[in-house]
Chain A
Amino acid sequence: MAQPLGRLKESASQTAGPYVHIGLTPNFAEIEGVYEADLGISMVNDKTRGERITVTGQIFDGSGTALKDAMVEIWQADAEGLYNSPAEMRGSADPNFTGWGRSPTNMQDGEFRFETIKPGRVPFRDGRLMAPHITFWIVARGINLGLSTRMYFADEEAANAEDPVLARIEHRVRVPTLLAPRDGNGYRFDIHLQGDKETVFFDI
């Protein structure tokens, strides 16, 4: 026998269920007057530094059907590669950029949408620079534990080629599932939960 470590166990996850929009984007869910605005709807203002981009996409299930009841959150660095977070010790991020966004997938075609800026590069654990990327977290009915992935920018070929996280992916044929192609003024990041095009998800 030894002394107990006295650690607690993380609360078990449960699905967000079909009505996650009531809780997290109530104005979108037509429950108006409780909150002034849905959190995470706006990431930028007119003083935000960096290249404005729109990130859109859909989330497809194993039958190819887009999820209309999902909720997507993103977290990213500012244009200089700094996070707007107390744990960011390298400097002060752009105060006019939250870095965090939340979007429901809509009831028409299941599209999510973020008006944001292109992030700068952030160092990996060993100091090498990661390629610009946006962290995604996806919850929905039928998803028992939120899914984590990253969107990279397909047109950042040189940076992507030296990215230490992309380098972790053994099956190179899967890397393109994380590369969002340019689409007008923004980038398109479609997510596939299953099948040949299954998106790489991370255990972070």
Chain B
Amino acid sequence: MSVLSNSKPETGSFFQRDLGWHPPAFAPQYKTSVLRAPQKALISLDNTLSEITGPVFGHNILGEFDNDLIHNFAKPGESAIGPRIIVYGRVLDERGKGVAGALLEFWQANAGGRYRHRKEGYIAPLDPNFGGCGRTITDEEGNYSFRTILPGPYPWPNRVNDWRPSHIHFSIFGHGFAQRLITQMYFEGDPLIWKCPIVDTIPGREAIEGLVAALDMEATLPMDARAYKFDIVLRGRRSTMFENRLEGS
């Protein structure tokens, strides 16, 4: 709560989601979507209190190494293998306002492209010092940062020779449950971005480029870690709720 205490909570409805900008549920190039895509039209629902409210996560839930994937699973004195990077940016809403107190959770493969998961079948080895998850909470202006290693690309069962570009999965909580979002961050210059069926579920090039983090040499720590800047945009909201509140209620 403390991070939000200086600002009056906003209670307006969120802007209508642009479903033509997001990937459609049914995207047959990504085979798993075929049996998991709802086939009937979504019922549109202007936000009620159930959508404009949402949980708050305090900085007190965070451990010292939650935003450091190089060390949060490593044995004392050791660190994860791979190119060291810093990922930083802002969480904004569609009005360009920073989103304070947003919980970001992220997960990724290790430098060889292998996930630490029971069902993972790729032959690349596990790194005993890399778990693959982390989290942080944005500051008053919506800024965040964390440290990790550059994840490797990996093959996956879709067509016989599909490879995921290097990516980090992000889960984001804004201020209302209707802002809930999961997405993926890609890395500038990776040629696999434009060959990936999952990236290709997004209809427009501009929307894809919005998920590609930029290499930032100015924010790079010399002799330590390169920096990538990745801003995330959540839905904006109208300024007040109940603009059209009916009489007599």
Contact = CB atoms under 8 A, between A and B. Distances in A.
Partners in one complex: yes
Interface of A: 6-24, 26, 29-31, 33-36, 39, 61-63, 65, 67, 69, 73, 75-77, 83-89, 98-100, 107, 122-128, 130, 133, 135, 137, 139-148, 150, 165, 168-169, 174, 193-194, 198-204
Contact of A146 (B65, B131, B181, B246): B181
B113 interface: no
A203 B66 CA distance: 33
Interface in B25-60: 25, 27, 30, 32-40, 42-57
Contacts of B117: 18-19, 21-22, 29
Which of B1, B25, B49, B52 gathers the greatest number of chain A CB atoms within 10 Å? B49
B36 A62 contact: yes
29 contacts: A10-B233, A10-B234, A12-B23, A14-B211, A15-B30, A15-B198, A17-B184, A18-B117, A30-B118, A34-B65, A77-B50, A87-B11, A87-B54, A87-B175, A99-B55, A100-B55, A126-B245, A127-B246, A137-B177, A142-B30, A144-B22, A144-B25, A144-B33, A144-B201, A165-B45, A174-B40, A202-B45, A203-B45, A204-B47
B36 A146 contact: no
Chain B interface extent, by class: 35 or more
The B interface, classified by DSSP as helix, strand, loop or mixed, is loop
Given A7-B96, A128-B249, A144-B25, A20 B32 contact: no
A35 to B, nearest CB: 7
Given A14-B202, A22-B107, A86-B9, A122 B38 contact: no
A144 B30 contact: yes
A39 B134 CA distance: 12
Given A22-B132, A127-B245, A137-B177, A88 B92 contact: no
B160 interface: no
Interface stretch (B13-21, B78-86, B142-150, B219-227): B13-21
B195 interface: no
Nearest to A128: B249
B61 interface: yes
Given A11-B211, A12-B210, A13-B22, 18 more contacts: A8-B236, A10-B17, A12-B211, A14-B211, A17-B169, A17-B198, A26-B107, A29-B117, A29-B118, A35-B133, A77-B50, A87-B176, A125-B244, A130-B50, A139-B182, A147-B38, A165-B45, A198-B40
